[in-house]
Structure 1
Amino acid sequence: MIDPRRLRVLRALADHGTVTAAAHALYLSPSAVSQQLAALEAETGHALLERRGRTVRLTAAGTVLARHATEISAQLERAEADLAACSTGLVGEVAVAAFATSITEVVAPAVAALRQRAPQVRVRVKDAEGHASVRLLIDGDVDIAVAVEHRDTLSSGKGQLLYAPLYAEPFDAVLPPGHRLADAPEVNLADLRDDLWITPWPGNPVHEAVLRACEEARFQPRVECLSDDFSAVCALVAVGAGVALVPRSALHGIRPALTPAVRAVSGPGPTRRVFTAVRRGSEGHPLLRLALAELRDRAAALTG
């Protein structure tokens, strides 16, 4: 009989590509991962790995078994959800990974509401930017991921995760004092083609959204400064270092002195779309349903 714990090791190798990375995700040593994979090969009677020097890759049999491992993992999640549903009380723990703005505007208020509604439910929150929250979810470190739509986030965990839209929000233009468009009711991005720009770092979904919006306005921004902290971005704008596009909710907690001129973007403009993700099979767990419902309620209040 195949040991499902070893299937999890194979799945981790398929997800991460190397024994070392799989070991890190599973909190095991590389030698322990190699031993588990060797035992799995012995159990199945098939060579699952092709070794090339210091690297390994899945054989055809390994690829087939990794695909089954995904389905088995989902079924085990369903079993745990069904057992949890048999419980009469809401007691337990939910772990959520989310990016900083969503923690401030959605996750933290949802935690506060959960404490009132189900005081015996403990919520652990991890700050994870970019697609790191999805990786934490795939690796089993959290139960719910909150992330921004991006090619990296949506391409991760195919077949393993269930995605659902949470909220969408526009970007606003943030302009320095005395900017020629500071008094305009709204800003056309094309009118900012000659300005210096401040954006998050490449790899941050907001960076990609800003570049895509500028490309649609038929110019490439001259990026002068980079920061993933929107307070820092606005501080740099305030001293005249450039202009920026910032998701609207990210401006809520920033001191007015650091946002001297915030203007809506004319036309369709860029939009930040945020989603939740859970591991396939876990969606029926009563604690996850409760937590997701609170996240949706907070998101509706944010954008309503």
Structure 2
Amino acid sequence: MIEVRRLRVLRALADHGTVTAAAEVLHLTPSAVSQQLAALETEVGQELLERRGRRVAITSAGRLLLTHTDAILTEVERAEAAMRQHADGATGEVRVAAFATAISLLVAPSLARLRSSTPGLRLVVRDAEGHQGVTQLLDGEVELAVAVEHRGSPRPDDERLTQIPLYAEPFDAVLPSNHPAASAKSVELASLSSDGWVTPSVGNPVRDVVLLACEQAGFQPRILHCSDDFRSVAALVAAGAGVALVPRLALRDSPTGTAVVRPLSDPAPVRRVFVAVRPGSADHPLVAATVKALAEAAACL
């Protein structure tokens, strides 16, 4: 294997013409330069130099190696600069796990912000519904997770995580257009107890919030259909498949067909969204920049 430092010696010799001059530039002794060049010839298995009195000439094999040397030394310099920037927190990759709505409302706008404010950051996004985001974070697969508070969430004092609230949004009722409550200004959740329901699938935190809200309203919903895509939920409701509760921002700017969206009477259930990081990486400049961008995006909702 060719030693990069020996290529630097060959380049210095080619630039300055003598072993003595190359040694001065490299802050080595002439003997050390000669030893490095001899070792390089051994590594490539060919003569690289012709001795001509006090001077040396580069052989054709040496000139061929020099054409690669310049490219190699340039890439090594780039790699060294990149590693220095990484050590300083100026460049690197941050992986973010988030559920679909958070990707569109928070992560995508943050990516755009970070592209200009932190150009050395490469954001990698993973769609993670339900408990997956926090699980991936604890397993070291991502550096940040945007998730929803629910009964199975880590406690705020969980020492494995640093949790930062981002936003909270109420749930709205999604009703078929011919539903008796469709014309009301607000809907009492208990009035939907006899309807069939469309909910997210088991394991989705939104389903847990919906079930808890119905339980507190005094009934258990009769679940007929399941979908984790809120546009699909709205389409099923519009087709008369049942009623649903959906986080308000989840259907913002999304078509709901003939389905009607109405606010719930107080107390309405709330979806609370947070970003979590591992405490050991919370202060890393790139992680902190990403959290800041997410919080700024959340403040604009």
Q: Scaled by the length of structure 1, what TM-score is found?
A: 0.68
Larger relative contact order (Cα-Cα within 8 Å, sequence gap ≥ 6):
1
**Alignment partners' CA distance in 2, 1:213 and 1:162:** 27
**Cα distance per residue 1:185-226 (max 9 Å; x no partner):** 010101111111110012111111001111111111111111
| Unmatched runs of 5 consecutive residues or more in structure 1 | 1-82
**Alignment partners' CA distance in 1, 2:84 and 2:138:** 21
> What residue number does 1:239 align with?
239
**Alignment partners' CA distance in 1, 2:288 and 2:159:** 20
| Pair 1:185 & 2:199 matched | no
Shift in Å at residue 158 of structure 1?
Answer: 3.8
Partner SS state of residue 276, structure 2:
strand
> What residue number does 2:54 align with?
none
> What residue number does 2:144 align with?
144
The one-letter code of the counterpart of 2:289 is: L
Partner SS state of residue 225, structure 2:
strand
Partner SS state of residue 290, structure 1:
helix
Distance 1:84 1:94, change over 3 A: farther
**Alignment partners' CA distance in 2, 1:230 and 1:290:** 30
Distance 1:220 1:89, change over 3 A: closer
**Cα distance per residue 1:146-169 (max 9 Å; x no partner):** 111123331599432111211111
Distance 1:95 1:157, change over 3 A: farther
> What residue number does 2:154 align with?
154
Answer whether contact 2:198 2:225 (CA < 8 A) is retained: yes
Distance 1:256 1:225, change over 3 A: closer
Q: Scaled by the length of structure 2, what TM-score is found?
A: 0.69
> What residue number does 2:164 align with?
164
> What residue number does 1:266 align with?
265
| Pair 1:296 & 2:295 matched | yes
**Alignment partners' CA distance in 2, 1:85 and 1:189:** 55
* 1:186-205 alignment, distance < 5 Å: 186-205=186-205
Which stretch shows the higher mean deviation, 102-111 or 144-153? 144-153
Answer whether contact 1:138 1:157 (CA < 8 A) is retained: no
The one-letter code of the counterpart of 1:181 is: A
Report which of the two structures shows the higher radius of gyration computed on alpha carbons: 2
Partner SS state of residue 220, structure 1:
coil
| Pair 1:276 & 2:275 matched | yes
Answer whether contact 2:147 2:273 (CA < 8 A) is retained: yes
* 1:1-304 alignment, distance < 5 Å: 90-154=90-154, 158-257=158-257, 260-302=259-301
**Alignment partners' CA distance in 1, 2:225 and 2:295:** 34
**Cα distance per residue 1:57-85 (max 9 Å; x no partner):** xxxxxxxxxxxxxxxxxxxxxxxxxx999
Task: Tell me which stretches of 4 or more aligned residues in structure 1 moved more than 3 Å.
Answer: 83-89, 155-158
**Alignment partners' CA distance in 2, 1:253 and 1:84:** 44
Distance 1:91 1:250, change over 3 A: same
Identity %: 53
